[in-house]
Structure 1
Amino acid sequence: MNILLEILLIAACILGLSISMWVLMEHFRTAHLPSAISHPVKLQILHCILLLVVTWGNILEKLKICSMPHFCCFLQDIFVVKENLNVVVTDLRFGTIPVRLFQPQTVSSSPRRGIVFYHGGGAMFGSLDSYHNLCSFLSRETDSVVLLVGYRQLPDHHHPVLIQDCLTATVHFLINLSAYGVDPSRVVLCGDSMGGWAVVMVIQALVNRTDLPHIRAQILIYTVIQCINLQLPSHQQNKNVPPFTQEFMLMCVCKYFAIDFSWREAMLSGACIHPDHWKKYRKWLSSDNIPKRYKKKYHEAPFPGPFDEAAYLETKQALDVKVTPILVDDEIIAQLPEAFLVSCENDILRDDTLLYKKRLEDQKVPVSWYHAEDGFHGCVSLFSNKVFSFPCTQNIMNAVVSYIKGV
């Protein structure tokens, strides 16, 4: 028996070592770190840890022990040290949707500003706990009531559950603003990455609702705006910049929309885009809308590629105008509230923000913009992380706080 245990232990050690070596080789084989990024070694370590966690998660999933997203979120949450300095935190449920309310401890003589926050994470990562400190900071520094929405995620829930949960939670909050001491004329929606996409989708869904308070402003932090043109300059320039590489982004998109990953090349080349659709939408999604200063080392390949009807049929749910908020009619865009947009130079989604910025400005929607030259996708999710802290994270959050104080 002892010999068997020793053999199993040795085998486990060999397996663990082999996986670690593969992760290191995969990182150094694919990862590209631009010179503008502060603390590049720290980001390399972070990327290796992410690869290792995802790899082990995939192994556990294949063994039917635990899903990869559940494993990753579990590890993410257990290392969070929550801070509630001068903030009262309350866990609630709006129906089946878990939410977390952050309220300043000090008494206010008048209703406060309200912030609804949708976290990022590709519908796989991110949670109430992992964004706890960020929302606590927002509440304290802006003297606002913050509602963090814990929408349902993969692998149990696919599109459109995320949007439905965010919309349901937001409507519930708007109906009951007086109960939370919130001024109905100062409600802000905020989100990062896929959470930013939820912000845009929810605001567009509410734009014609006359029975609810109007949203005062939208704050979008390196937001997903479209999955149609994946050959924009930033997609080429930053496709291997960790931790949000092109491969990782496509994995998140395919899992969320239940698309087989084998169609990724068709999605990248645009072969899945119907020619008639591209004729209609290229005026908003073409690289022609990206300023020249962001086109360094950019080779404009023919786009879209030769049309593949099978690819179109398999991937069209990710390309639908209903999930691509930049493609809605001008009349809808023109009614949207003022926006504060955050982009990062070293982010594959940088140009999504630039495209949306132009779309809003063309319809005379007031836009403020903060561009982090040393920023990378996902940096905000590391807020208050003592080990993996980066200057761009604090700078972005300071810019967000400064904007909110003016609302």
Structure 2
Amino acid sequence: MAVLWLLLVAGLPTFLLGVFVWVVIQHLPSAEMPSTLKQPAKLWFMHCIIQYLIALGNILEKLRICAMPRFLRFLQGLMMIKKDPNVLVTDTHFGTVPVRLFKPKEVSSKPHRGIIFYHGGGAMTGSLGKELPFELLCSFLSVCMVYRKLPDYHHPVLAKDCLNASIYFLKNLESFGVDPSQVVLCGESIGGWAVANVMQILPSIPSLPQIQAQVLIQPLVNLINFQLPSHQQSKNVPILTRDTLLMFMCKYLAIDLSWKDAMLSGAVIPLDKWKNFSKWLSYDNIPRRFWSQDPQPEFFAPFNEAAYLETKHVWSAEISPVLADDKIIAQLPKTFLVSCENDILRDDALLYKKRLEDQGVPVSWYHVEDGFHGCLILFDKKCFSFPCSMKVVNAVVSYIKSI
């Protein structure tokens, strides 16, 4: 028995090192670092660490020890959240949804502005308040909601949790000391997708206070056209590569990964549907300055009916919010959109921007030339922070304070 333990102790570091070397070899040649990215070596290292942890999680999952998403959340839970003596932090539930409330300790005679925040993480990771910009915590009453995630929960649980918890909060604003006329809905990445989804429903509930503004940071609003310029230009840019995006989304939408290539090539797109929705989804909706010098035209593979039947639910506005009817888009509140140049989802933000503007919704847009997907959550990570992280935080805080 002692020999077995000795072999295990000696072999584990070798195994872990071997997996890391394999990840580095796999991602070193494929990772692309555009010239606008700052500190590319640090970003590439972080990308390798993330892919390394995903690889370890997949190994644990195949060994039936632990599901990969649970492994990632366990590691994230070890991270300490930043504390401030001026902020009162309370963990509670809105219905069945866990939330963390951040409220300034300073007593105010006036009601606070309220911020509802949906975190990112691809429906796999994300936790209570670790992604909230700290400036929001100090200035407003902020609510971070933690929806149920993979592997146990799939679509539409994420959106329903966000909607139900938001309704609970809006019905009880007075008890939280929040001004009903100053509530902002904010989300990052898939949290931005949740904002778009929830905001297409809330205005139809007349008994609720109206949301003052929505803030979508690097949102995902299109699960149909993967041939947009940013999907071509940033498909291998850390931290969110095209393969990682498809893995997260297919798992959340319960789509078998064997259909990934059909989705990427457009083989799942029927001609009649494309004729109806290309006005909102096509390459032509992206400003030409974001096109490549030698743009690759949209050229979809021959239609695959079997692939379409397995993926057809992506054609609903519930999954691809950019497809919502004009009358739903027109009732949305003023909007702040954040996009990053080196983000595979850059053009999702641009599609939604045009969609909103065409229906007369006031839109403010902030574009980060040296930004990449997920840079927001690194804003206070010291040596792992990037200049673009603070740019996004400052832009969001300045916008919310200005409305």
1-structure distance, mates of 2:383, 2:165: 33
Q: Is the 8 A contact 1:233 1:298 kept in 2?
A: no
Alignment pair present for 1:239 and 2:228: no
* CA separation of 1:303 and 1:207: change in aligned 2, threshold 3 A: farther
Equivalent residue number for residue 75 of structure 1: 75
TM-score of the superposed pair, with normalisation by structure 1: 0.96
Alignment pair present for 1:229 and 2:225: yes
Where 1:61 maps in the other structure, the secondary structure is helix
Q: Is the 8 A contact 1:135 1:146 kept in 2?
A: no
CA displacement at 1:42 relative to structure 2? 1.1
Amino acid at match of 2:254: A
Equivalent residue number for residue 8 of structure 2: 8
Equivalent residue number for residue 121 of structure 1: 121
2-structure distance, mates of 1:255, 1:61: 14
Structure 1 segments unaligned to the other structure (5+ residues): none
Equivalent residue number for residue 103 of structure 2: 103
1-structure distance, mates of 2:285, 2:345: 14
1-structure distance, mates of 2:167, 2:134: 22
TM-score of the superposed pair, with normalisation by structure 2: 0.97
**More displaced stretch, 236-245 vs 23-32:** 23-32
Where 1:251 maps in the other structure, the secondary structure is helix
Alignment pair present for 1:138 and 2:136: yes
Q: Is the 8 A contact 1:139 1:145 kept in 2?
A: yes
Alignment pair present for 1:167 and 2:163: yes
Alignment pair present for 1:310 and 2:286: no
**C-alpha RMSD over aligned residues:** 1.3
Where 1:322 maps in the other structure, the secondary structure is coil
Structure 2 segments unaligned to the other structure (5+ residues): none
Equivalent residue number for residue 144 of structure 2: 148
Q: Is the 8 A contact 1:116 1:189 kept in 2?
A: yes
Q: How many residue pairs align between the two structures? A: 403
Amino acid at match of 2:189: S
1-structure distance, mates of 2:220, 2:271: 23
CA displacement at 1:304 relative to structure 2? 2.8
Equivalent residue number for residue 385 of structure 2: 389
Q: Is the 8 A contact 2:234 2:342 kept in 1?
A: yes
Equivalent residue number for residue 274 of structure 2: 278
Equivalent residue number for residue 30 of structure 2: 30
Deviations 1:326-376 (A, max 9, x none): 111111111110000000000000000111111111111101111000000
2-structure distance, mates of 1:375, 1:85: 31
Where 1:125 maps in the other structure, the secondary structure is coil
Equivalent residue number for residue 214 of structure 2: 218
1-structure distance, mates of 2:321, 2:292: 27
Amino acid at match of 2:53: V
1-structure distance, mates of 2:99, 2:238: 30
Amino acid at match of 2:34: P
Where 1:76 maps in the other structure, the secondary structure is helix
Where 1:299 maps in the other structure, the secondary structure is coil
Amino acid at match of 2:125: F
Q: Is the 8 A contact 1:187 1:216 kept in 2?
A: yes
1:378 corresponds, among 354, 374, 378, to 374
Q: Is the 8 A contact 1:77 1:129 kept in 2?
A: no
CA displacement at 1:136 relative to structure 2? 4.0
1:177 corresponds, among 166, 173, 176, to 173
2-structure distance, mates of 1:171, 1:92: 15
Alignment pair present for 1:287 and 2:274: no
